[in-house]
Amino acid sequence: MHSPHSACATHSADSPVPVAPLVKPGLRRGWRDLNTVQFGMTPAHAMTVGPMDTATGSFLDLLNGTRGLELLREEGRRMDLPDGHVDGLVRRLARAGLLDDAKGGGPAADTLRRKRNVLDRLRPDLASLSLTTSEPGEAIGRLAARRSLRVQVRGAGRVGAAVASLLSGAGVGEVDVRDVGRVEPWDVAPGGLPVEAVGDRRDEAARRAARRSAPDRPPRRAPGPSHGEDSTGHSLVIIAPRDDVAVHAPAPSAAEPLIASGTPHLYAGVVEGTGVVGPLVLPGETGCAGCLDQGRTDRDPAWPRLVAQWRSGSGRARQVPPCDLTLATTVAGLAAAHALAFLDGHVPSSAGARWEVSLPGLNWHARPVWAHPACSCGAAEKGEGEHPSEFEESHETMAEQRPSNELSRMAEAERPAGTWRAHV
Ligand SMILES: [Zn+2]
């Protein structure tokens, strides 16, 4: 079962008052007119606040994390702002999700702040997290929480090795890689396995590459139940096969232990000229490899026959399968992003869907992976009538249609970081 890694702030109706408030520096500010300020540039995260007078507008510059509330009130008096104005402003900005706390996020965040070099490596990631979190201090809390997460990557080819390095580089504390065999010259990829690793054991070489990407030494793990070959205790398992058939037609049997233990898992890989990210399987909730297989059989009676032939290796001489370097890197990056979004407490659009992109047009599109009633994972009973991540509305393009209001942010942030409930 999952160990809870929750390190995220509790969501209350009223945001906690930050100790050292700062207006989220990741959002550029601009005046839309004399009394309306726009925070942020892009539709996904921009927000307007008004009415705001120019004095208050210039006061925003003082909300940079270097002053506590008492000092801010003093500055407000000096600027002849009315009594209570500063408190009201801070409350209002916090409620709108525009305020961070330079001292918030809890003990793990404090530890991270003391590691200056580590935090400097992760600063852009922290600034980015501040855009997808709403509570003051929540961004650094989530960044710090990544350190206690355990992720397993199965497959250390061009995609898998890069995914492992990316997650490790983004601060995930433990990235384990599983594979067999030795590194071949064609496994080498920027951001993945280095040329020096050719001939080394593939799994060890990929773990080494991931460790080298980490901003920090791996956390010391308290002795506890052993986390051996099985997948228990992993917040997420990423299945990134080197085998092209396994990418196109993931074997339901391979994921059975993951379904049984309630371990979330994400598929990613390259098959022929197509890159695939998804589905992210939340066992018992969203469509799995079994659901995908059943659905394909419904639509195409020849599907099982074809899969059997592909798996047996007929129809093509054994050779190095196609895997465009840039496509593999793109897939690795997107898969790692979906993984992180999930680990940070969101449900990304790969839940119940496969994102696919083909050379040379490179148009991303999502194919739904519906929960299938004949699949033993149980997602179909659970999800009767619901479609994970509102497929039709939001999966048409890569651009997420995100109304920039506070409510949608709260809704997206409802699940504590790095936790998932097992339903089976
Ligand atoms: Zn299923």
DSSP class per residue in 43-60: TTT-EEE-S--HHHHHHG
Give residue 304 CA to ligand 1 midpoint distance, Å: 16
C-alpha of residue 352 to centroid of ligand 1, in Å? 10
Look at residue 223 in the predicted model and tell me its pLDDT: 54
- C-alpha–C-alpha distance, residues 160 and 210, integer Å: 11
Cβ–Cβ under 8 Å, residues 371 and 352: yes
Burial class (CB in 10 A: 0-12, 13-18, 19+), 179: buried
What is the pairing mode between strands 274-281 and 265-271?
antiparallel
Residue type, 96: A
Measured in Å, residue 394 CA sits from the centre of ligand 1 at 22
**C-alpha 292 – ligand 1 centre gap (Å):** 7
Tell me the backbone φ, ψ of residue 102, rounded to 5 degrees. -65, -15
Give the Å distances, CA to CA, from 331 to 41, 161, 231, 355: 27, 12, 23, 10
Distance 290 CA to ligand 1 centre (A): 5
Nearest to 231 by CA among 194, 279, 176: 176
313 Cα–ligand 1 center, Å: 26
> How far, in Å, CA of 117 to CA of 137, rounded?
20
At 218 the pLDDT is 77
Mean pLDDT, the chain cut into blocks of 10 residues (424 residues total): 34 68 94 94 93 92 95 95 93 93 95 96 96 94 96 98 98 97 97 98 97 88 52 88 97 96 97 98 97 97 96 74 97 98 97 98 97 96 58 37 35 42 31
Q: Please name each of the domains of the chain with its CATH number.
A: 21-121+132-143 (3.90.930.60), 149-412 (3.40.50.720)
Position 413 scores a pLDDT of 40
What pLDDT is stored for residue 382 in this prediction? Answer: 78
- How high is the pLDDT of residue 229? 47
Distance 409 CA to ligand 1 centre (A): 29
